[in-house]
Chain A
Amino acid sequence: MLNKLQQLGAATIGTVQGLGRASLMLFGALWGRPRPVKSWPLYVKQFYVVGVLSLLIILVSGLFIGMVLALQGYTVLAKFGAEQMLGPLVALSLLRELGPVVTALLFAGRAGSALTAEIGLMKATEQLSSMEMMAVDPLRRIIAPRFWAGLICMPLLALIFNAVGILGGHLVGVDWLGVDGGGYWSAMQANVDFYDDVVNGIIKSTVFAFVVTVIALHKGFDAIPTSEGISQATTQTVVTASLAVLGFDFILTAVMFGG
Chain B
Amino acid sequence: MVDIQNLTFRRGERVIYDNMSMQFSRGKVTAIMGPSGIGKTTLLRLIGGQLKPDSGSIMFDGDNIPMLKRHELYQARKKMSMLFQSGALFTEMSVFDNVAFPIREHTRLPEAIIRMMVLMKLEAVGLRGARDLMPSELSGGMARRAALARAIALDPQLIMYDEPFAGQDPISMGVIVRLIKSLNDALGMTSIVVSHDVTEVMSIADYVYIVAERKVIGHGTPAQLLEHESPLVQQFLQGQADGPVPFHFKAANYAQELMEIKG
Q: Hey, which bits of chain A sit against chain B, CB under 8 A?
A: 38, 125-127, 129-137
Contact = CB atoms under 8 A, between A and B. Distances in A.
B102 A127 contact: no
Contacts of A132: 48, 50, 77
B106 A133 contact: no
Chain B CB within 10 Å, residue with most, of A125, A131, A134, A135: A134
Q: Is the interface of B mostly helix, strand, loop or mixed?
A: mixed
22 contacts: A38-B105, A125-B86, A126-B85, A126-B86, A126-B88, A127-B90, A129-B45, A129-B50, A129-B84, A129-B88, A130-B82, A130-B84, A130-B88, A132-B48, A132-B50, A132-B77, A133-B48, A134-B77, A135-B77, A135-B105, A136-B101, A136-B102
B106 A135 contact: yes
Interface string B54-78: 0000000000000000000011011
Given A126-B88, A127-B90, A129-B84, A134 B105 contact: yes
Contact of A134 (B75, B86, B91, B102): B102
B8 interface: no
B140 to A, nearest CB: 13
A32 to B, nearest CB: 9
A133 B77 contact: yes
Nearest to B153: A134
B80 interface: yes
Contacts of B105: 38, 134-136
A33 B101 CA distance: 20
Contacts of A133: 48, 50, 77, 80-82
A192 B50 CA distance: 55
Contacts of B90: 127, 131
Interface of B: 45, 48, 50, 74-75, 77-78, 80-82, 84-86, 88-91, 101-102, 104-106, 147, 150
B129 to A, nearest CB: 24
B21 to A, nearest CB: 23
Contacts of A135: 74-75, 77-78, 102, 105-106
A38 B103 CA distance: 12
A127 B77 contact: no
A126 B81 contact: no
B74 A125 contact: no
B101 A134 contact: yes
A136 B71 CA distance: 11
Nearest to A132: B50
B114 to A, nearest CB: 13
A143 to B, nearest CB: 15
A103 B77 CA distance: 42
Contacts of B77: 132-135
Nearest to A32: B71
Contacts of B75: 135
B88 A127 contact: yes
A26 B160 CA distance: 30
A132 B163 CA distance: 19
Contacts of B150: 134
A102 B82 CA distance: 45
Given A130-B82, A133-B77, A134-B81, A125 B88 contact: yes
B175 to A, nearest CB: 21
Contacts of A129: 45, 50, 84, 88
Nearest to B104: A38
A131 B151 CA distance: 11
A136 B77 CA distance: 9
A133 B65 CA distance: 13
B91 A125 contact: yes
